[in-house]
Amino acid sequence: MEQNKVDAEHSLIKPQTLEEVRTMIRTHKRNDFIFSSIGLLTITFALLTLLILFVDLVMDGYPKLNYQFFTDFPSRRAANAGILSAWVGSSLIMLVTFITAVPMGVAAGVYLEEYAPKNWFTDIVEINVTNLAGVPSIIYGLLALGLFVYTFHLGQTIVTAGLTLGLLMLPIVIVSTREAIRSIPVAIREAAYAVGATKWQVVLHHVIQYSFGGILTGIIIGMARALGETAPIITVGALTFIAFLPPAPVTSVAPFISFEWLQSGFTVLPIQMFSWLSRPEHAFHINAAAAGAVIIMLTLVMNGTAIWLRYRIRKNIKW
């Protein structure tokens, strides 16, 4: 029995005759072809679904997809209603999310990968972080409601929403930072140590530099996910009708920077879209389609930027 198995394996690796070699190559080529066909079919199907969805949204929302749509506040008249407060709200929240989640996430990733001792504690942290990346977003909303709104009294404001989405994004940033760092060859680190670099220098000049592309991809994918989130944002108290903008972050009097906007109420694009979709008038459904097209476009642009940046940065790395 044992002998037979070994023989069989051998015959795969070392065919006996020329005929057997040809058969083997033919089989493998056929398998290759079958696999790549299935792969192509799958990806075509996925892309086609997205494309149909997108084209359908654009076609439905086409009458509204103009400059005015971006500069009008919501209104009871569908023709005058726009997404100004929604896109401004979404952008400001993304800004807060970025500022909080990115430094913390990258730092945590670097620490876990480069500094943390390998013991049971870091094992638990590692398992938890990976788990957190898959926790349903509503859980983050409930956590944020208890923590930011009721404990820290930050109110139902942009800063609360930004921190909530920051929490949501944190595990994604940590995981992608660690993945990116792991892909750096050990030789690079050893070379740096060999010429006398300290650990901090190695991390700052080499590890972060070379993993920057991967980290950036993680950040942008996390941001794109956060952009489309509704559940946690509703939980912390997003508004539906808000026809004014938060105070401008830049003022004409010293100190020229104002943080008042953090205290403002807000709405975001997905909520605006949902609100329109549940209205009885068909004209509002057109607005909803247009808002949906805008969200998809933003996500595509963000993901596209991620890919482009990764490509650019990879090209500049010369090991």
Partner 1 sequence: MKSNKINNLGLAALVASTFTFSYNINAEVKTIAIDGSSTVYPITEAVAEDFQKKTGTKVTVGVSGTGGGFKKFCRGETMISNASRPISKKEMDMCAESGITYIELPIAYDALTLVTNKGNDWAKSMTVAELNKIWDSGSSVKNWKDVNPAWPNQPMKLFGPGADSGTFDYFTEAINGRAKKSRSDYTASEDDNVLVTGVSGDKGGLGYFGLAYYLENKDKLNAVAVVAKGKTEAVLPSETTVMDGTYQPLARPLFIYVNGTKGAFDKDVKAFVEYYIANAPKLVKEVKYVPLNTSEYAAVNKHWQGKKAGSGFNGTAEVGLKIEDLIKRIKD
Binding site for partner 1 (CB under 8 A): 74-76, 96, 99-100, 102-103, 152-156, 159, 204-205, 208-209, 212, 237-244, 259-260, 262-265, 275, 277-282, 285
CA distances from 68 to 132, 189, 253, 296 (A): 40, 54, 31, 19
* Min separation Cβ 58 and partner 1, Å: 21
Question: CA 183, 186, 187, 193 torsion: positive or negative?
Answer: positive
Mapped onto helix, strand or coil, the DSSP state of residue 250 is strand
Q: Which is nearer to partner 1, 28 or 76 (CB)?
A: 76
Residues contacting residue 158 through CB under 8 Å, at least 6 positions apart: 89, 92, 93, 96, 246, 261, 262, 263, 264, 265, 266
* Min separation Cβ 300 and partner 1, Å: 25
Q: Which is nearer to partner 1, 122 or 209 (CB)?
A: 209
* Min separation Cβ 97 and partner 1, Å: 11
Q: Which is nearer to partner 1, 97 or 137 (CB)?
A: 97
Phi, psi of 14 (to 5 degrees): -120, 85
CA distances from 171 to 25, 130, 217, 236 (A): 45, 7, 14, 20
* Min separation Cβ 235 and partner 1, Å: 10
Phi, psi of 250 (to 5 degrees): -110, 125
Residue 156 corresponds to which amino acid?
Q
Tokens 């913390």 belong to residue: 104
Q: Which is nearer to partner 1, 209 or 303 (CB)?
A: 209
d(CA 146, CA 82): 32
Burial state string for 266-279 with b = 16 or more CB within 10 A and e = fewer than 16: bbbbbbbbebbeee
* Min separation Cβ 209 and partner 1, Å: 6
* Min separation Cβ 266 and partner 1, Å: 9
Q: Which is nearer to partner 1, 154 or 220 (CB)?
A: 154
* Min separation Cβ 303 and partner 1, Å: 22
Q: Which is nearer to partner 1, 65 or 239 (CB)?
A: 239
Q: Which is nearer to partner 1, 24 or 277 (CB)?
A: 277
Tokens 């975001």 belong to residue: 268
